[in-house]
C-alpha cells in the first residue's frame, strides 16, 4: 500500500461495482469449507510477481519496522511502539488496500474522507500491526493473490500473540478493500481472531478485472480466492462494512443475502462511500475493542449507532 491511494483504490472499487457479483458465488456458500477445499485442491504453480521496493522507514515513536517469520521467510511489518504503561493490551492485524502485500506510508495524517491508515485504532491505544505479505516490497516469495497470503496473516497473528504487552486472547483482524477481502478469507480459514472487521470486500475476485491476482488462474483457482463461496466456513465473529454509495455495496449485499452463518454480519453505513466509511467506523470499532474485555467477544453493532456516524 502507498498512501494516498485514492486513484488506485477508486479504480478497484469502481471495477468491482461495475459488474454484479456472480450468481454462483452468491448461491454456493452452504456447507462449503475453504480450508478443506484448499487442502484438497491441486498444488498451484506460482505465477505471481515480487514488488521489489524496500520498506519505507516509519517515523520514530509512531511505528517501528519489525520482521515476522512466515512461510516464505522473514516478512516486514509496521508495529506500534511498546506502550509506556505495563499491562496486556488488545491488538489488531490491519491489512491495507490496493496492493495489500506491500507496505507504504501509513503514518502521515490523512483527510477524514479517505483515511486508510487505521490511525483511529492506534490513537485509541490498540496495538496495531501492519504486515507486508509474500512478494510485497522486497519480501521473499511472490504475490499469490489472496492465497498463500492467508497463511502470512496467521503468521503475523502468531507474532503479535508472543509480545509480552499483547493480550493473546484479544487479537483482532481488520482490513480495507483488497485487505477486507483477504480478511474475510482469513476468517473463513481459521478461528484464532477474536473478531474480524472487513471494509469494502468483494464477493468474487474476478470482479477486480484481473488486478491483484496472478494471470491465467482457472475458474476453480479464482473460486478458492473468493469469499462469497465460503460464507459457511466463517469461524470468528465477522463484521463487514461498506459505504452505501460509490462503493462495493452490491457485493456486500449479495453476501448478506446468501449468508446463513450467524457469525457474519453485514452493514452498509449510511451517507458514506468506499473511503469515507473508514474513519468514523474505525473510531467506533476502537471503542468497542477497548470495552471488549469478557471471556468471549461481546462486540455488536446497532443500526442506530451506524446511522449516527455521519450526519
Q: Where residue 34 sits, what CATH number does that domain have? A: 3.40.50.1820
pLDDT digits 0-9 by tens, 144-157: 999 999 999 999 99
pLDDT digits 0-9 by tens, 165-215: 999 999 999 999 999 999 999 999 999 999 999 999 999 999 998 899 999
Flag whether 217 is in a domain. yes
pLDDT digits 0-9 by tens, 242-275: 999 999 999 999 999 999 999 999 999 999 999 9
Q: Which of 199, 180, 192, 62 is nearest to 128 (CA)?
A: 62
Cβ atoms of residues 151 and 119 within 8 Å: no
What pLDDT is stored for residue 46 in this prediction? Answer: 66
Q: How far apart are CA 248 and CA 301, in angstroms?
A: 20
> Using H for helix, E for strand and C for coil, what is the string for 35-54?
HHHHHHCCCCCCCCCCCCCC
Q: How far apart are CA 112 and CA 273, in angstroms?
A: 12
Q: Which of 89, 88, 163 is nearest to 127 (CA)?
A: 89
Flag whether 1 is in a domain. no
247 lies in which domain range?
Answer: 6-293+301-307
Flag whether 255 is in a domain. yes
pLDDT digits 0-9 by tens, 270-298: 999 999 999 999 999 999 999 999 999 99
pTM, 2 dp: 0.93
Residue 95 pairs in a beta bridge with 175
* 184 membership: H or E segment, kind and range: helix 178-187
pLDDT digits 0-9 by tens, 83-102: 999 999 999 999 999 999 99
Flag whether 132 is in a domain. yes
Number of structural domains the chain divides into:
1
Flag whether 116 is in a domain. yes
Rounded to 10 degrees, the C-alpha dihedral 192/193/199/203 comes to 20
Cβ atoms of residues 178 and 212 within 8 Å: yes
Amino acid at each position: 500500500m502507498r498512501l494516498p491511494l485514492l486513484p488506485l483504490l477508486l479504480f478497484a472499487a469502481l471495477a468491482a461495482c461495475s459488474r454484479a457479483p456472480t450468481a454462483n458465488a452468491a448461491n454456493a456458500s452452504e456447507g462449503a469449507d475453504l480450508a478443506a477445499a484448499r487442502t484438497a485442491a491441486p498444488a498451484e504453480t506460482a505465477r505471481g510477481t515480487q514488488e521489489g521496493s524496500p520498506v519505507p522507514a516509519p517515523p520514530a515513536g509512531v511505528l517501528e519496522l519489525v520482521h515476522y517469520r512466515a512461510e516464505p521467510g522473514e516478512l516486514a511489518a509496521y508495529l506500534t511502539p511498546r506502550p509506556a504503561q505495563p499491562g496486556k493490551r488488545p491488538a489488531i492485524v490491519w491489512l491495507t488496500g490496493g496492493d495489500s502485500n506491500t507496505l507504504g506510508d501509513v503514518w502521515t495524517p490523512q483527510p477524514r474522507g479517505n483515511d486508510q491508515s487505521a490511525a483511529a485504532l492506534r490513537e485509541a491505544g490498540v496495538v496495531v500491526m501492519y504486515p507486508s505479505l509474500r512478494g510485497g516490497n522486497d519480501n521473499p516469495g511472490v504475490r499469490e493473490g489472496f492465497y498463500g497470503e492467508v497463511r502470512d496473516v496467521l503468521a503475523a497473528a502468531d507474532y503479535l500473540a508472543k509480545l509480552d504487552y499483547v493480550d493473546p486472547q484479544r487479537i483482532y483482524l481488520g482490513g480495507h478493500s483488497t485487505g477486507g477481502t483477504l480478511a474475510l478469507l482469513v476468517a473463513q480459514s481459521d478461528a484464532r481472531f477474536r473478531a474480524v472487521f472487513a471494509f469494502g470486500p468483494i464477493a468474487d475476485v474476478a470482479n477486480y478485472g484481473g488486478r491483484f491476482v496472478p494471470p491465467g488462474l482457472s475458474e476453480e483457482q479464482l473460486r478458492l480466492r473468493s469469499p462469497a463461496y465460503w460464507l459457511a466456513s466463517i469461524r470468528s465473529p465477522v463484521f463487514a462494512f461498506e459505504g452505501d454509495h460509490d462503493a462495493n455495496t452490491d457485493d456486500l449485499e449479495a453476501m448478506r443475502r446468501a449468508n446463513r452463518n450467524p457469525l457474519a454480519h453485514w452493514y452498509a453505513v449510511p451517507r458514506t462511500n468506499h473511503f469515507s466509511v473508514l474513519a468514523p467506523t474505525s473510531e467506533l470499532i476502537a471503542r468497542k475493542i477497548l470495552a471488549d474485555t469478557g471471556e468471549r467477544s461481546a462486540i455488536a453493532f446497532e443500526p442506530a449507532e451506524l446511522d449516527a456516524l455521519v450526519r
